[in-house]
Structure 1
Amino acid sequence: MKTSRMSVKELLQSEDCGKEVEVKGWVRTKRGNKQVNFIALNDGSTINNIQVVVDMEKVAEEVMKKVTTGAAVHVKGLLVESTGSGQAREIQAKEVIVTGEADPEKYPIQPKKHSLEFLREVAHLRFRTNIFGAVFRIRHAMAFAIHQYFNDHGFYYLHTPLITASDCEGAGEMFRVTTLDPKNPPLLEDGSVDFRQDFFGKSTNLTVSGQLEGELGAMSLGKIYTFGPTFRAENSNTTRHLSEF
């Protein structure tokens, strides 16, 4: 019988118990004994995991040795009501396929508390932690609500340029954007850089504000809003000064 792949979120919300299902995701944790193993699986569709129950008589021990925190797995099994606390649904696995191994000696996001300073050093993996998963889900919801509000009140979303020759009333230090050789740029007779040979033919930077273009849009479209991002080249390591926001 053909099974259907579902997300963890769909599985946790499903009322269709007894159905053959497939799910793919990353292993958060694995625990158990020689008779049964329990895998906490997540695929990013929700911050919650789904528990996969593995009867060790049905899945080879060699396969389960590869099921470590961070490993990518493909599970086929039966969706059932969970008898344990903490989740309403779980999967009784019939087949576990490891599609990507994670060496427990090297994989840095192990099931323990990590400092934010440490997570900065493994930025490509920190999205898998609960704290960053929560932050970016909240950020998504807030951004969506802002767009929804302005749309419902008749505003037009204006995409202001990120590359600009304007400093917008001196709103902040700017990051330069150039295609010129940084070591040997073309020079004018007075020793200054000849930006006429640059891509735009003049000095350009990352925008510090979409205000000026917003004013132009307001004079034609009426009610408009902009949503960044904007950039400030200010070397200030505080919560109130970000280089991109």
Structure 2
Amino acid sequence: MVRKYSIKELLNKGTLFINKKVLVEGWIRSFRYSIFIILNDGSTIKNIQIILPKKLDKRIIKKITIGSSIRVIGIVKKSIGTKQYIELQSLDITIYESVDSKIIQKSILQPKKHSLKKLREQAHLRFRTNIFGCIMRIRHNIAFCIHKYFHENGFFYLHTPIITTSNCEGTGKMFQITTMDLKKEPIDYEKDFFKCKTYLSVSGQLEAESASLGLGKVYTFGPVFRAENSNTSRHLSEFWMIEPEIAFYHLEENINLAETFLKFIIRYIIENSMEDLVFLNQCLDNKGNQKKKNFLLEKLELILKFSFKKISYTEVIKLLDQEEKKKNIKFLHPIIWGMDLQSEHEQYLVDKYFKIPVIVFDYPCNIKAFYMRMNNDGKTVRAMDILFPGIGEILGGSQREERYDILLQRMKDTNTDKNKLWWYLDTRRFGSVPHSGFGLGFDRLVQFITGMNNIRDVIPFPRTPNNAEF
């Protein structure tokens, strides 16, 4: 029986297979001179060349078209060409399904350059393209190494509910879930499926906190949903979040964990996704469409090269104010203590001033969520954000408020419904301890690592306002 191999296996161990009979399967990328097939099976960015016999039935040749799926048994030979080390001399070919050439002409599988917007319009086919294949393989490796990091560091993986009754952040719109006709008033939610008003979750943090207060270290990794009508290149309506929560952790420990975690991911991807990174580096344009030889790899290596710059929010406001006055810079949003930092401020700090990742901490309490621990000054909370080059905020977290009375007061100050979150308050009455955590937007991390300008290009089927196709 002939053994089947992936194209990645064959190409990675080419010399071991020379003169051996193997079986490969895949989709045809190109067909030249009625003899050369370029085949790919999705396991790698690289293709393998199939050499057909000179006397092949013309009826079979007619069925060999771009996009068609085939099975090939052949002998591995050292290639005389310079573009590949090995090739496969076909002994037997089976065509699973032949694709009509006229259909290919209208699809993104046609072998020419297509815009990323065009690829989005045929999202069900874009897995077969080089660029999207690279992104999906890198996305897989990022997800795998996240689980690897937490497992090796004593964290327990927690599945938090997708259906919830409350908004963790206290702001922003949520998708409501109901089995009732909302056009009929008055609405009696006692007759609804859950007998109360429910939504799709924006975060699993609050549930993860309660778990950490019994298990020590936990993390969530799952989908979350936000109903803001935002059509920017950095926002999705459905996206994935990683949220670790750690008991007995103060803000400083939380900051160190976040930096170590991000560097672990970047290092793992450089070591395990180099082929795909090199391809993306070659086909993506740097700023101003000026191609820089290794701009993507240099950006990732920068994350590993230096310790992140730590600076308080108050120091940031002073710095930005001084820069505006000294260098005659005019920010669109005025620099005032108490304001929320905007993208232009974050990018100025990272890209122009420090030129390395920046950690901003101790934010004003009035711009942060109710659950963040109040500092002794009564004005700021133990919050932190990590800012990355070119993308701004990549991760946000805080030390959580463990003191019952202060948490209760913060809930009142922010108009957070204590009746819905009675259980969250209750955790502070049963051996509460200092604890911390953060949230990392998985898709935004993939966007940063792959260098893609639009977050819609790093998720298989993006869900955005006015778009829920596929």
Q: Could you state the TM-score of these two structures normalised by the residue count of structure 1? A: 0.89
Cα offset, 1:49, TM superposition: 0.9
Partners of 1:171 and 1:10 in 2: CA distance = 49
CA distance in 1, matches of 2:164, 2:234: 24
Q: CA deviation at 1:216?
A: 1.0
Helix, strand or coil at the partner of 2:24: strand
The code of the aligned residue for 1:5 comes to: K
Bigger Cα displacement from structure 2, 110-119 vs 10-19: 10-19
Q: CA deviation at 1:86?
A: 2.2
CA distance in structure 2 between the aligned counterparts of 1:237 and 1:18, rounded to whole angstroms: 55
Q: In structure 2, what is the Cα distance between the partners aligned to 1:192 and 1:212?
A: 31
Please state if 1:140 is matched with 2:137: no
Query: Where do residues 15-34 of structure 1 align in structure 2 (5 Å cutoff)?
Result: 15-33=16-34
Tell me the equivalent position of 1:215. Answer: 209
Hey, what does 1:54 align to over in structure 2?
52
- Letter in structure 2 aligned against 1:64: I
Further displaced range: 145-154 or 207-216: 145-154
- Structure 1 residues 105-157: Cα deviation after superposition (integer angstroms, max 9, x where no partner): 11311110011111111111001111111111111111222221111111111
Give the deviation of 1:198 after TM superposition.
Answer: 2.7
> How far apart, in 2, do the equivalents of 1:51 and 1:171 lie?
55
Contact 1:234 1:241 in 2 (8 A): no
- RMSD (CA atoms): 1.7
CA distance in 1 between partners of 2:195 and 2:54 (Å): 68
Tell me the residue number matched to 1:84. 81
**AA matched with 1:210:** G
Instruction: Report deviation, 1:186.
Output: 8.3
Alignment partner of 1:149: what SS? helix
How far, CA to CA, are the matches of 1:138 and 1:152 in structure 2?
Answer: 21
What do residues 34-77 of structure 1 show as CA deviations (whole Å, max 9, x unaligned)?
Answer: xxx111111111121111011231x2121111111110111111
| Aligned: 1:5 with 2:1 | no
- Whole-angstrom distance in 1 between the partners of 2:192 and 2:83: 60
- The 1:32/1:201 distance shift into structure 2, 3 A limit, reads same
Contact 1:172–1:208 at 8 Å: present in 2 too?
no
Question: How far does residue 24 in structure 1 lie from its aligned partner after superposition?
Answer: 1.1
1:203 — aligned with what?
Answer: 197
Q: Match for residue 170 of structure 1?
A: 170
Judging changes above 3 Å, is the alpha-carbon distance between structure 1 residues 80 and 119 closer, same or farther for their aligned structure 2 residues? same
Relative to 1, partners in 2 of residues 1:131 and 1:99: Cα closer, same or farther, differing over 3 Å? Answer: same
Specify the code of the residue in structure 1 equivalent to 2:126. Answer: R
Matched, 1:94 2:88: no
| SS of equivalent to 2:139 | helix
Which segment is superposed worse, 3-12 or 126-135?
3-12
Percent identity for Structure 1 against Structure 2: 51
Give ranges in structure 1 of 5+ residues lacking alignment.
Answer: none
Gap change, CA 1:207 and 1:77, over 3 Å in 2: same
Name the residue aligned to 2:423: none
Quote the residue 1:71 is aligned against: 68
What letter corresponds to residue 215 of structure 2 in structure 1?
L
Distance 2:202 2:19 in 1: 56
Number of residue-to-residue matches in the alignment: 234
Alpha-carbon distance in structure 1 between the residues aligned to 2:82 and 2:177: 55
Q: Which whole-Å CA distance do the structure 1 matches of 2:142 and 2:186 have between them?
A: 45
Distance 1:13 1:232, change over 3 A: same
Cα separation, 2, equivalents of 1:179 and 1:76: 54
Q: Which amino acid aligns with 1:9?
A: K
Change (3 A) 1:193 1:64: farther
In 1, Cα distance between equivalents of 2:183 and 2:171: 29
Please give the alpha-carbon distance, in whole angstroms, between the structure 1 residues aligned to 2:143 and 2:115.
27
Amino acid corresponding to residue 26 of structure 2 in structure 1: G
Q: Distance in 1 between matches of 2:79 and 2:175?
A: 54
TM superposition score normalised by structure 2: 0.48
Q: What is the correspondence of 1:87-166 to structure 2 with a 5 Å cutoff?
A: 87-107=84-104, 108=107, 109-166=109-166
Distance 1:103 1:195 in 2: 54
Question: Are residues 1:235 and 2:229 paired?
Answer: yes
**In proportion to residue count, which structure has more helix?**
2
Cα gap change, 1:197/1:103 in structure 2, threshold over 3 Å: closer, same or farther? farther
SS state of the match for residue 110, structure 1? coil
- Specify the SS of the correspondent of 1:23: strand
Match of 2:419 in 1: none
- Aligned equivalents of 2:205 and 2:91: distance in 1? 58
Secondary structure (helix, strand or coil) at the match of 2:223 reads: coil
Q: Which moved more, 1:123-132 or 1:99-108?
A: 99-108
